[in-house]
């Protein structure tokens, strides 16, 4: 290892020589004194070169350094209250490990604003900004918090295929691919597979994985490749899994606010932990709130973005919409026995947008087959799925939670592309 410490592991009192590695963030040559600011993953280090005492070769290297070159700097620590972390590094050696060309594709100091397209085109460089990096450090914390919570609740993490033969989410389009001599698709959701696990007796499963949606819309909340946090659980109804969902959201918010203080401060964000239980309103009530707020939406229609906003403004915090019309929810959502025009499905909403949808599932083979046909789908394509309902399928429920939407609403970020390393949208396929 070349590096002995990250910038934040060094204290002003340290006696023995250290080596830090990072990028030449800034070079300021003031004649008698040269400052080289090195940036590593954790922060900044001020490397100070006094012309009178420094080795000439070391000074030469520092003065000729191009911004954003990768360096390893070895030297001694001196207390300096004005420098980042209260110390400066007096170098004995500066090695250039990776030279950066100039001009740079974008600025990393935060002094020059770049638009999102420029940043996404040069994502590797954009990630060097503490702002961008903090988003992805929080994304990591969210996934860690989700795993921790679900593991404690007895959920088993699974991985299901992304190359599949059938659609799951009727409404949204599929990406076809060539699979040897056949046509296949990129999976829209782990839905059918997670349900198969219930017949398989795993009882409680979760997956954090990619979902692919060939939706044409170009919005700030849709991606063509997104990440879904999915659960499925046996012997629980929709209300039981709603409780798991709201508790998970609260847990993750708490986890991030406790473990991500630095990143939140880099982003200038204060996380407000949502109160549980979340408010529950029925679909019928939601329609009324939207219409009272000036929207024009008929009972039986899906909520538009505008009506989501109107309802979100009225409620003002995370909430659930329950008891949806069976017609506009997927075939696997279970209709109520006594009022089959409504089903045991729910959406979990942030005031800005939908974060999750879920339901108690149909577990009767006959009804499920019927629902598939009623929704205009060909039941033959679902053979592998339907089979599992003929040999002992427990009642079960689950939901899918959009990881990007959870992250962007937590951080108050406007555009979903900000929270994906390499977003895939209608126009963007590279990098």
Instruction: Choose the binding region for ligand AMO from 54-62, 112-120, 143-151, 356-364 (rule: CB under 6 A).
Output: 356-364
Taking CB under 6 A as the rule, which mask of x and - marks residues 359-398 in contact with ligand AMO? x--------------------------------------x
Site for ligand AMO contains 222 (CB under 6 A): yes
Task: Rule CB under 6 A: choose which of 223, 281, 343, 408 binds ligand AMO.
Answer: 223
Q: How far apart are CA 116 and CA 23, in angstroms?
A: 23
Q: How far is the CB of 210 from ligand AMO (least distance, A)?
A: 11
Q: Cβ of residue 131: shortest distance to ligand AMO, in angstroms?
A: 22
Q: How many CB atoms lie within 10 A of CB 189?
A: 22
Nearer to ligand AMO, 89 or 419 (CB): 419
Contact between 215 and ligand AMO by CB under 6 A: the answer reads: yes
Of 39, 213, 318, 363, the one binding ligand AMO (CB under 6 A) is: 213
Query: How far apart are CB 265 and ligand AMO at their closest, in Å?
Result: 27
Q: Which residue, 215 or 306, is less far from ligand AMO as judged by CB? A: 215
Give yes or no for residue 237 binding ligand AMO (CB under 6 A).
no
State which residue has the least CB distance to ligand AMO.
402
- Of 114 and 328, which CB lies nearer to ligand AMO in the complex structure? 328
The number of CA neighbours under 13 Å toward the Cβ of 191 is 24
Binding mask 394-413 for ligand AMO (x = CB under 6 A): ----xxx-x-xx--------
* 134 in contact with ligand AMO (CB under 6 A): no
For residue 387, the number of C-alpha atoms closer than 13 Å in the C-beta half-sphere is: 8
Contact pick of 358, 372, 382, 393 for ligand AMO (by CB under 6 A): 358
Considering only residues 18, 62, 164, 226, which one is a binding residue for ligand AMO as defined by CB under 6 A?
A: 226
| 73 class by beta-carbon count within 10 Å (0-12 exposed, 13-18 middle, 19+ buried) | buried
- The residue within the footprint of ligand AMO, chosen from 93, 169, 239, 285 (CB under 6 A), is 169
Count of residues binding ligand AMO (CB under 6 A)? Answer: 22
Give every CB contact of residue 85 below 8 A, 6+ residues apart in sequence.
7, 8, 10, 12, 43, 44, 45
Q: Which is nearer to ligand AMO, 4 or 172 (CB)?
A: 172
From residue 6, alpha-carbon distances to 19, 23, 40, 153, 261 in Å are 9, 12, 7, 36, 18
Give yes or no for residue 195 binding ligand AMO (CB under 6 A): no
Non-local CB neighbours of 65 within 8 Å, separated by 6+ positions: 24, 27, 36, 71, 94, 96
Q: Minimum Å distance from CB 340 to ligand AMO?
A: 19
Dist. CA 149–CA 73, nearest whole Å:
41
355 lies in the site for ligand AMO, by CB under 6 A: yes
CA dist., res. 367 & res. 236, Å (int) = 19
Q: Which of residues 173-192 bind ligand AMO (CB under 6 A)?
A: 189, 191
| Smallest separation, CB 35 to ligand AMO (Å) | 44
| Of the candidate residues 67, 122, 354, 377, the single one contacting ligand AMO (CB under 6 A) | 354
Instruction: Report the residue number, 126 or 308, with the smaller CB distance to ligand AMO.
Output: 308
Closest distance to ligand AMO from the beta carbon of 143 (Å): 15
Q: Which is nearer to ligand AMO, 23 or 319 (CB)?
A: 319
Using CB under 6 A as the binding rule, the residues of this chain from 253 to 282 that contact ligand AMO are: none
Q: What is the C-alpha to C-alpha distance for residues 112 and 119, in angstroms, rounded to an integer?
A: 12
Q: Which is nearer to ligand AMO, 39 or 350 (CB)?
A: 350
Residue number, 47 or 343, with CB nearest to ligand AMO: 343
In this structure, are residues 5 and 74 in contact, taking their beta carbons and an 8 Å threshold? no
Residues interacting with ligand AMO, by CB under 6 A? 169, 189, 191, 213, 215, 222-223, 226, 228, 230, 354-359, 398-400, 402, 404-405
């Amino acid at each position: 290892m070349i590096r002995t410490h990250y910038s934040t592991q060094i204290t002003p009192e340290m006696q023995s020589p250290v080596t830090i590695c990072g990028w030449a963030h800034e070079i300021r040559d003031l004649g008698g004194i040269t400052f080289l600011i090195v940036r590593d993953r954790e922060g900044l280090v001020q490397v100070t070169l006094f012309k009178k005492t420094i080795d000439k070769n070391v000074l030469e290297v520092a003065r000729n350094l191009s911004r954003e070159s990768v360096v390893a700097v070895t030297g001694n620590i001196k207390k300096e209250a004005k420098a980042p972390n209260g110390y400066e590094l007096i170098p004995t050696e500066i090695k250039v490990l990776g030279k950066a060309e100039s001009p740079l594709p974008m600025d990393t100091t935060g002094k020059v604003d770049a638009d999102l397209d420029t940043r996404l085109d040069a994502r590797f460089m954009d990630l060097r900004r503490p702002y961008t990096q903090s988003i992805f450090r929080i994304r990591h914390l969210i996934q860690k918090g989700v795993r921790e919570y679900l593991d404690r609740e007895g959920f088993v993490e699974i991985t299901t295929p992304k190359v599949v033969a059938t659609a799951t989410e009727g409404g949204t389009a599929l990406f076809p691919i060539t699979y040897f001599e056949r046509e296949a698709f990129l999976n829209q959701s782990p839905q059918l597979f997670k349900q198969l696990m219930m017949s398989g007796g795993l009882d409680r499963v979760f997956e954090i994985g990619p979902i692919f949606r060939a939706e044409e819309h170009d919005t700030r909340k849709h991606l063509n490749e997104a990440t879904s946090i999915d659960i499925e659980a046996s012997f629980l109804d929709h209300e039981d899994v709603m409780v798991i969902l709201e508790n998970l959201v609260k847990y993750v918010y708490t986890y991030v606010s406790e473990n991500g203080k630095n990143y939140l401060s880099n982003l200038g964000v204060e996380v407000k932990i949502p109160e549980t239980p979340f408010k529950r309103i029925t679909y019928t009530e939601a329609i009324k709130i939207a219409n009272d707020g000036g929207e024009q939406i008929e009972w039986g229609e899906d909520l538009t973005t505008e009506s989501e906003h109107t309802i979100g403004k009225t409620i003002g915090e995370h909430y659930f919409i329950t008891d949806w019309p069976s017609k506009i929810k997927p075939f696997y959502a279970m209709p109520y026995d006594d009022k089959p025009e409504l089903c045991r499905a729910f959406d979990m909403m942030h005031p800005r947008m939908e974060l999750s949808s879920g339901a108690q599932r149909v577990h009767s083979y006959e009804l499920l087959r019927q629902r598939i046909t009623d929704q205009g789908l060909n039941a033959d394509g679902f053979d592998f799925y339907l089979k599992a309902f003929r040999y002992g399928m427990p009642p079960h429920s689950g939901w899918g939670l959009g990881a990007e939407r959870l992250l962007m609403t937590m951080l108050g970020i406007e555009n979903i592309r900000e929270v994906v390393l390499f977003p895939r949208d209608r126009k963007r396929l590279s990098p």
